């Protein structure tokens, strides 16, 4: 590492440490042994928000707010306590640069299956690109006391298929330095600081021509605070500051700098017959017409059929706002589950017009649910399907009315 980079990291860490220790921590407790605790059938959701600036060749290219959503289930626990995790990863990005987007479009799902032992070490195949940061945290096989430090290996695995046509995860190793800071007085959570720097030079791929672009040098840092629930044996939440620089073989420099935060939440499965019956009874008791409920792949779905908007627009009619106010009462039963709002149209107009209208109407419903305090914009996602998923015959007016719908899914995957 060059002297300038060393100085930069020293200044940054010194500055950031001041803010780390500003919160009140108990540092006189007994030594603690930290281990991940897995139980077959456990379900959890990780929702992380990344706020970053992206520079290309030292010029600001764009600002991004990225939401990463992980829905996971522990499908098996080995004799040594390792858990087999079956996960669905989804990434949604707002690159408008405004920093004030209203909601996030539901992105592409990525499946990942991996094993993680009680200390936190992964075993994962190269066919999976998620998660990006692996083997953080990794705990020592002993009790540790506040103020104690340790070092463990880890790596980042980046998905560079689109940028550089790399078929496997691009892995950058690092040595992470850990410090157990103590117990947060208000919550009883254990606070652990994790810091690491990265530097890796990559040789040219085999048979690469002179004009092939690939990541030649990658370097960066991460400074993270982990808030650990030792009773549950899992992370409660974390915050991070980071900077990654990637220089390509053609001399282009890509820089990503920003902050991240994440919450880990246990959540209830919604798509059960009992929940289906209960919600249907609530719909009947509230007198909601043209509203149905069903179980689906991602959770429990409430469909508002023949939903009314002002003509050829995504402006909700007052009658539909009243419906949504009543549906908001139903959604209160699942405060820890994310919401997915899907828009659908009848078969009218062009395919492009139908797609745009379905997206705009899903967004309008999501916006209204946010104003009702059902959730904030980081816990609600939207998508539009145009007329591609009809539930009735578009040749009749009654069928078209059923197809003009917005679906609200209480997600468990």
> Is 407 found in the same domain as 352?
yes
More confident residue, 408 or 101: 408
pLDDT score recorded for residue 225:
98
pLDDT-based confidence at residue 369 (cuts at 50, 70, 90): very high
Proportion of the chain in helix, strand, coil states, percent, rounded to 5 = 20, 45, 40
Q: Across residues 232-241, what is the average pLDDT?
A: 96
107 alpha-carbon distance from chain centroid: 10
pLDDT score recorded for residue 295:
92
> Is 288 found in the same domain as 347?
yes
pLDDT score recorded for residue 335:
86
Whether 114 has a pLDDT exceeding 60, the answer reads: yes
Q: What residue numbers bound the domain in which 340 lies? A: 273-411
pLDDT-based confidence at residue 101 (cuts at 50, 70, 90): very low
**Spatial separation of the C-alpha atoms in residues 318 and 399, rounded to whole Å:** 23
Q: Across residues 211-234, what is the average pLDDT?
A: 94
> Is 141 found in the same domain as 16?
yes
More confident residue, 403 or 312: 403
Among 266, 284, 311, the domain-final residue is: 266
> Is 343 found in the same domain as 298?
yes
> Is 320 found in the same domain as 237?
no
The number of CA neighbours under 13 Å toward the Cβ of 71 is 19
> Is 226 found in the same domain as 313?
no
**Spatial separation of the C-alpha atoms in residues 164 and 169, rounded to whole Å:** 11
Q: Are strands 215-229 and 190-201 parallel, antiparallel or unpaired?
A: antiparallel
pLDDT score recorded for residue 103:
60
Tokens encoding 254: 């890509």
Whether 204 has a pLDDT exceeding 60, the answer reads: yes
CATH of the domain at 181: 2.30.230
The count of domains in the chain is: 2
**Spatial separation of the C-alpha atoms in residues 248 and 165, rounded to whole Å:** 13
Among 223, 246, 266, the domain-final residue is: 266
Whether 353 has a pLDDT exceeding 70, the answer reads: yes
Q: Across residues 306-335, what is the average pLDDT?
A: 91
Whether 5 has a pLDDT exceeding 60, the answer reads: no
Contact yes or no for 34/139 (Cβ under 8 A):
yes
Cβ density class 314-324: b for 16+ within 10 Å, e for less: bebeeebeebb
> Is 345 found in the same domain as 222?
no
| Summary mean pLDDT of the chain | 89
CATH of the domain at 331: 3.30.1330.60
pLDDT-based confidence at residue 12 (cuts at 50, 70, 90): very low
> Is 178 found in the same domain as 299?
no
> Is 148 found in the same domain as 190?
yes
> Is 333 found in the same domain as 228?
no
> Is 16 found in the same domain as 138?
yes
Q: Across residues 213-227, what is the average pLDDT?
A: 95
**Spatial separation of the C-alpha atoms in residues 254 and 251, rounded to whole Å:** 10
Contact yes or no for 352/386 (Cβ under 8 A):
no
Among 222, 246, 266, the domain-final residue is: 266
Please spell the DSSP secondary structure of 352-369, one letter per residue.
HHHHHHHHHHHHHHHHHH
The structure's pTM equals: 0.84
> Is 255 found in the same domain as 277?
no
What pLDDT, in 10s, does the model give residues 135-149? 999 999 999 999 999
């Amino acid at each position: 590492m060059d002297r300038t980079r060393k100085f930069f990291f020293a200044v940054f860490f010194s500055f950031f440490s001041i803010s780390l220790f500003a919160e009140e921590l108990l540092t006189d407790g007994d030594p603690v042994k930290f281990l991940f605790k897995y139980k077959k059938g456990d379900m959890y959701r990780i929702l992380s928000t990344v706020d970053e600036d992206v520079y290309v060749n030292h010029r600001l290219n764009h600002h991004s707010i990225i939401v990463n959503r992980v829905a996971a289930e522990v499908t098996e626990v080995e004799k040594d306590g390792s858990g087999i995790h079956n996960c669905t990863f989804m990434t949604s990005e707002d690159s408008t640069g405004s920093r004030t987007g209203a909601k996030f479009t539901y992105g592409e799902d990525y499946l990942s299956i991996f094993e993680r032992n009680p200390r936190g070490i992964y075993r994962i195949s190269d066919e999976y690109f998620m998660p990006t940061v692996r083997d953080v945290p990794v705990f020592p096989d002993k009790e540790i006391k506040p103020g104690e430090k340790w070092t463990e290996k880890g790596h980042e695995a980046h998905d560079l298929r689109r940028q550089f046509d790399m078929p496997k995860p691009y892995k950058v190793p690092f040595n992470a330095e850990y410090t157990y800071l103590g117990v947060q007085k208000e919550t009883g959570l254990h606070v652990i600081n994790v810091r690491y720097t990265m530097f890796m030079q990559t040789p040219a791929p085999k048979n690469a021509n002179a004009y092939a672009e690939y990541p030649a040098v990658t370097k960066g840092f991460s400074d993270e605070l982990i808030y650990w629930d030792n009773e549950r044996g899992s992370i409660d939440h974390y915050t991070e500051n980071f900077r990654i620089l990637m220089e390509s073989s053609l001399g282009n420099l890509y820089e990503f700098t920003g902050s991240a935060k994440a919450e880990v939440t246990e959540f209830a499965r919604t798509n059960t017959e009992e929940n289906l019956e209960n919600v249907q009874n609530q719909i009947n008791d509230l007198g909601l017409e043209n509203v149905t409920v069903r179980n689906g792949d991602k959770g429990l779905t409430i469909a508002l059929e023949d939903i009314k908007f002002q003509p050829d627009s995504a402006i909700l009619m007052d009658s539909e706002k009243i419906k949504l106010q009543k549906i908001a009462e139903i959604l209160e039963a699942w405060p820890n589950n994310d919401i997915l709002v899907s828009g659908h149209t009848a078969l009218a107009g062009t395919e492009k017009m139908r797609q745009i209208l379905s997206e705009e109407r899903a967004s309008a419903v999501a916006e209204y649910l946010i104003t009702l305090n059902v959730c904030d914009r980081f816990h609600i996602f939207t998508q539009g399907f145009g007329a591609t998923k009809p539930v009735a015959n578009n040749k009749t007016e009654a069928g078209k009315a059923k197809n003009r719908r917005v679906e609200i899914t209480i997600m468990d995957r």
